[in-house]
Structure 1
Amino acid sequence: MADVEEYGADLAAFRRRVEELRTARALPSSEALPALDAALFELQHAAEVLWPRYEELAAAGKRNGGRDDAHEHQLLRALFQRLPVAVALLDRDGVVRRLNVAATQLFGMRPGYATGRALAGSFTHEGRPTFRSQVAAVARGEGARSLHVQLLRPPDRSSPRSGALRATLTALRPPQEPRTAVLTVFQTYGDTAPSAPGRGGPAAVRREPAPAEQPATARPALTEMTRHAELLDLIDDMATALLTAPPARDAVAARAAAVLHGRFADWVILDTGGKSETLCRSAVLASSGEVRDAVSAQAPAASPVVADAVDRRAGVLQARLEDPDAFGCDETGAPLLVRAEASSLLCVPLSTGTTGTEPDSGPDSPSTVQGALTLLRTGGRSAFELAEAGAVDRMARHIAFALRRSEM
């Protein structure tokens, strides 16, 4: 602070001397030479003394300000993560930039997976256009908005309104960024203010232990172990069904679909034939009769996700459906995924190869593609995960071998 005051005093004195030198223009030319020498001296003083001192003070201010800003940013990030309500920072297209802890629990997504993906994929199909439009309007500066959305995966299936959310959107300009972001707060219909101390009632909120209160000892992930055991049982049941199936293509497809339907997926669609242009729909298992008939009548080649999986020999995992036309449309042009109320999709090729990337060398090639397996889950179930996709890829290989045996 003393250095700043001293520099200010020197600068004020320099300005006064410059003002006095400006009056030298009225002197005769024979007497103006000493004033010119003094002006050159003042310029040298400004260049060699005043300017270097200004640079030192500016650099010191940036260092102190940088430390203060970094501390402030850390504090804001900590507050954002510890907020008891679900908060998401979105761009003008509704793509997630940041989720706090409560939001990751509400949407059932990890922060690393959610970042860079459209948040509208977590809502039912009818609410996605409205949500995107409102986010874009807030980003354009048209004021804060509030709307209702419905989760594809309700947190509590026993409550019919547990998946209903109120989304409050407001514009936010992050520091040092050129574009406006949209801060979105999500509240479930069960969120209420806590009651006064000593009083019970419906407004009481169950207290969750703080992270610091959690036991320091590591506990086994029992949920993941249980899920892993379930996948192993599913693979074993699939192998048993295929080994005991009659050597016929339709019988193999029916056995495989029966193992997966209900237990693992709400929709099971098996397309067999070898190439996308010659595929035929061998099995369709679902609970909805009218929509099931529309899916059964669809040509597999008209389904973009099936044709892509067969042509590229690579699986397609869409944990949160963002493109309603991914599986194709019915005769009226309505997306089949919307009619089926699908929330998650997994499509894998039925390939007998180990990697699915080797070139074909004939009908008996170890990498021949026998078709595609498509699985859908509806809004009441959790989205497909990578571990489940790996298990389905193994089962698809077993199905491909069974189909190949039936042809031989």
Structure 2
Amino acid sequence: MPEQLDPESVLREVAGLEERIEELRRSAGLPDADARATLDAAMVELELALAALRTIGGEQSGAPGRSAATEDERRVLKTVFTDAPVPLFLLDRDGGVRRVNRQAAELLGTSTGYVSGKQFTAFCDLATRAPLRSQLAAVIRTGRRCRVPVRFLGGERPVDAIVTLARVWIRGEPDPMVVAVAGPATTPIRFSATSEPAAEREVEAASTARVQAARAAEASAKSSGVSTTVGVDTSGDEAIASLVHRMDVLGAVTEMLLDEPVFNETVAVRRCARLLATELAEWVFIDLVPQRKAEGGGQPGTARNGDADPLRYVVMGPEDEAAEEAARRFSEVDPAPGTLPWTVFESGQSALRAHADEPDLLGTCPDGQPVLSLIGATSVLCVPVTDGDATIGTITLGGSGEHGPFSLLDLSVCQRIGRYLGLVVRAARLYRRRAEVAATLQASLLPRTLPEIEGVELAARYTSATHGTEVGGDFYDAFRTKDGWGLVLGDVCGKGEDAAAVTATARHGVRLVSRWRTHPAEVLAAVNEALLTEDRFVTAVLAGITPRGEGVRVTLGIAGHPPAIVVRADGVIRTASRGGVPLGLFEDFEAGLDTLDLAPGDTLVLHSDGVLEACDVGRRQYGQARLLETLAAHAVEPVDEMLSAVERSLLDFCDGDLRDDVSMLALRVLPPSLN
């Protein structure tokens, strides 16, 4: 008969019962769950519930033999326990490991000190945890011995075993304990906890098979002339292979992150997660502080500011449909206070849970299910992602124990990967930030929209260079003048903030001087004088536009710039004169001049030298001939589509690799019916 329980003990029993039932419910949903074992465990829980109800208000019976043991007795018992030839675990009534012997530690591939104090079920795979907890509770309450199949998470790989559970009373201890004895099993076995004869046969068969296999290996080695001993330890070779593999992973991650095409935060993070999920773990979670929150100061190991909470960026798991669906669900679960990723992010300190037994360690899904249970992880590690100044995120790995729990070597490798990834993310964000600043500054040097001019149609194109984040020197503008309208397109020598300042001076100088100077040559001369104090020169072409009958007259002033192009309505092309010297070089400036008359359908095209000097992989330039051919081929198309055709042709020619900025500005005279 089970002992009587007082009300306080009953409440404790009920709380444990609720916890175990919930764990059984989760365990039943796992893909490799043993339905029979789960059912047996559920029946045991019902028996325990009935026993607890019957004993409410009863007196706890004493246990015989609870007087204090002598020191000699304790010493003898400890020696017998430690030197026993089979794995032994001494468990308290809540399933915590009080003590293990050397054989048990070797079974788990760890030390006796590491096992002590942890939950016994933490060293078992998820499919057997819930049934095992229920059977442990039954042994404590009823004293009935049982055998259960268990898959231990060994140091290198899972170990299938049959565990015998027996209740014992230890002198000096107020509560009963459980001794767990582990026996080997050659294959994963699934049977009821009450099938003791079958379990014994399985243990015996396993032992016989191991002996036969060892003898066969020894005989084979002797016949080959190789001296060997049964049970040769190959752990040294395995350790070396494990070390080499992890160094290969570290080298692959380093090479991948330093690869130039990965100078992109999203690409770098996803590639890193995929490599880790392939080589080190079944599941990888990477959480980062978004860039908009990460800007500003901060101390290493701390968030940068009050609202700099990490968000889930990437979740990678096994490559199957179910895992992909689960990854989408987990992507919506950001790290929450109290979870391992949050703790590591806040503290900046790495964490290793070689045998994870806390269901909420990685948080819960919106439906309340623990992420740790859903991914089947029994071992977890988490490292900070640092950019050299502060913690900007975490990398979390989850493993099922198929290749053993994570080790300190895994933790060390991942810590370095976290530092490398943090530096790449920092560089990518700095690069992107500078690109955004450059784009903003560049946009301020160009008109937001082109003006509407009666009788003509305007279009423009600006394409920045592929490489670099510095501001380009190209500019264009369309504006009113004293006698009509003006168009200007120019190119400042060099790039960067200094070039941008000169660009602004040239563009706004042309616009301002054109208010009271009539001829383009006079305007360019005044701007040249303003630029003499600058360290950079400017090439430009300025066109004055005045109505003339059904068309317009164009007066050109050229300052060392590629000549303007006229595309007639019938496809005939003419290039204007070239000449003049760049602005900002000499005091005695003299511009090149030309005058053109445009009829309805004619198009005036101004362009920078970036169009002509774009190169293909063979370093051949696009050149003026290709430009003229492309313009002629699209002469009848709208002016905006004409420039788009030139842009596509140019990018195709250089395979998208522009070494210089490209700008184009075009004006077409509309037919009288559309004026």
Specify the TM-score bucket, using the shorter chain as the normaliser: 0.5 to 0.7
What is residue 378 of structure 1 aligned with on the other side? 400
2:80 paired residue among 76, 80, 102 = 76
Query: What residue ranges of structure 2 are gaps of 5+ in the alignment?
Result: 1-69, 187-201, 219-227, 295-302, 431-675
| Structure 2 partner of 1:258 | 274
**What is the aligned partner in structure 1 of residue 411 from structure 2?**
389
2:204 to 193, 199, 206: 193
How far 1:130 moved relative to its partner? 3.5
Counterpart in the other structure of 2:243: 228
Aligned to 1:29: none
Paired position in structure 2 for 1:347: 382
Q: Secondary structure at the match of 1:262?
A: helix
Counterpart of 2:279 in 1: which secondary structure?
coil
Distance 1:164 1:234, change over 3 A: closer
In the other structure, the counterpart of 1:243 is 258
- 1:185-334 to 2 correspondences below 5 Å: 185-190=181-186, 191-193=202-204, 221-245=236-260, 246-273=262-289, 274=294, 275=303, 278-287=309-318, 288-301=323-336, 304-334=339-369
What is the CA-CA distance between 1:207 and the residue it aligns to? 6.8
- Give the alignment's Cα RMSD to 1 decimal: 3.5
Q: Distance in 1 between matches of 2:415 and 2:208?
A: 50
**Cα separation, 2, equivalents of 1:122 and 1:308:** 23
Go from structure 1 to structure 2 and tell me whether the alpha carbon gap of 1:117 and 1:203 turns closer, same or farther (over 3 Å shift). Answer: closer
The whole-number CA distance in structure 1 between the counterparts of 2:118 and 2:335 is 28
Task: Pick the aligned partner of 2:420 from 378, 381, 398.
Answer: 398
Q: Give the aligned partner of residue 169 of structure 2.
A: 173
**Aligned-partner Cα distance in 2 for 1:369–1:375:** 18
CA contact (8 A) 1:124 1:152 kept: yes
Per the TM alignment, residue 312 of structure 1 is displaced from its structure 2 partner at its CA by 1.4
- Alignment CA distance shift 1:239-1:165 (3 Å): same
**Pair 1:112 & 2:113 matched:** yes
Sort the Cα spacing of 1:335 and 1:207 in 2 relative to 1 into closer, same or farther, 3 A.
same
Deviations 1:153-209 (A, max 9, x none): 47998xxxx8554332112233444443211122344454389xxxx9859656799
Work out whether residues 257 and 268 of structure 1, in 8 Å CA contact, stay in contact via their aligned partners in 2: yes
Distance change >3 Å, CA 300–CA 220, structure 1 → 2: closer
Tell me which residue corresponds to 1:56: none
What is the count of residue pairs matched by the alignment?
313
CA 1:70–1:230 in 2, change beyond 3 Å: closer, same or farther?
same
After superposition, the C-alpha distances for 1:356-375 in whole angstroms (9 at most, x for unaligned) are xxxxxxxxxx4311211111
Letter in 1 for 2:254: A
Q: Deviations over 1:66-94 (max 9, x none)?
A: 6x6477346524542x23xx321111121
Query: What's the offset of the Cα at 1:295?
Result: 1.1
Q: Distance in 1 between matches of 2:245 and 2:411?
A: 14
The answer to whether the 8 A contact 2:383-2:415 is kept is yes
Task: Describe the shift of the 1:116–1:372 C-alpha distance in structure 2 as closer, same or farther (beyond 3 A).
Answer: same
**Higher helix content, 1 or 2:** 1
* Percentage of pairs with the same residue: 23
Q: 1:154 to 1:79 in 2, by over 3 A?
A: closer
In structure 1, list runs of 5 or more residues that go unmatched: 1-64, 353-365
One-letter code of the match for 2:372? L
For residues 78 and 360 of structure 2, the distance between their equivalents in structure 1, rounded to whole angstroms, comes to 42
CA distance in 2, matches of 1:201, 1:282: 51
Give the deviation of 1:149 after TM superposition: 4.2
Q: Shift of residue 297 of structure 1?
A: 2.2
C-alpha distance in structure 1 between counterparts of 2:79 and 2:339, whole Å: 47
Question: What code does the residue aligned with 2:316 have?
Answer: L
Post-superposition CA distance 1:240-273 (Å, at most 9, x none): 1111153221022022113212211111111111
Maintained 8 Å contact 2:139/2:146:
no
Residue 402 of structure 1, CA deviation: 0.9
Q: Once the 2 structures are TM-superposed, how far is the Cα of residue 104 of structure 1 from its aligned partner?
A: 2.6
CA–CA distance in structure 1, aligned partners of residues 423 and 101 of structure 2: 46
Letter paired with 2:145: R
- Secondary structure of 2:361's aligned partner: coil
Higher RCO, 1 vs 2 (CA within 8 Å, ≥6 residues apart): 1
Give, as a single letter, the amino acid of the residue that structure 1 aligns with 2:371: L
In structure 2, the residue corresponding to 1:342 is in which secondary structure?
Answer: coil
CA gap 1:192/1:126 in 2 versus in 1, 3 angstroms: closer
CA separation in 2, counterparts of 1:250 and 1:99? 47
Letter in 2 for 1:96: V
Summarize the Cα distance change of 1:119–1:70 in structure 2 as closer, same or farther, 3 Å threshold: closer
Residue pair 1:267, 1:376 contacting (<8 A) in 2 also: yes
Determine if contact 2:385/2:418 at 8 Å carries over to the other structure.
yes
Q: Is the 8 A contact 1:139 1:181 kept in 2?
A: yes
Alpha carbons 2:285, 2:396 under 8 Å: kept:
yes
2:148 matched residue in structure 1: 148
Task: Give 1:321 deviation, angstroms.
Answer: 1.4
Q: Name the CA distance, whole Å, in 1 between partners of 2:403 and 2:169.
A: 36
Tell me what 2:98 maps to.
Answer: 97
- Label 1:152 to 1:173 Cα distance change in 2 as closer, same or farther (>3 A): closer
Bigger shift: residues 170-179 or 320-329: 170-179
Query: Bigger CA drift: 368-377 or 218-227?
Result: 218-227
Tell me the secondary structure at the aligned position of residue 151 of structure 1.
strand
1:228 maps to a residue whose letter is L
> What TM-score, normalized by structure 2, do the two folds share?
0.42
2:154–2:405 contact (8 Å) kept in structure 1: no
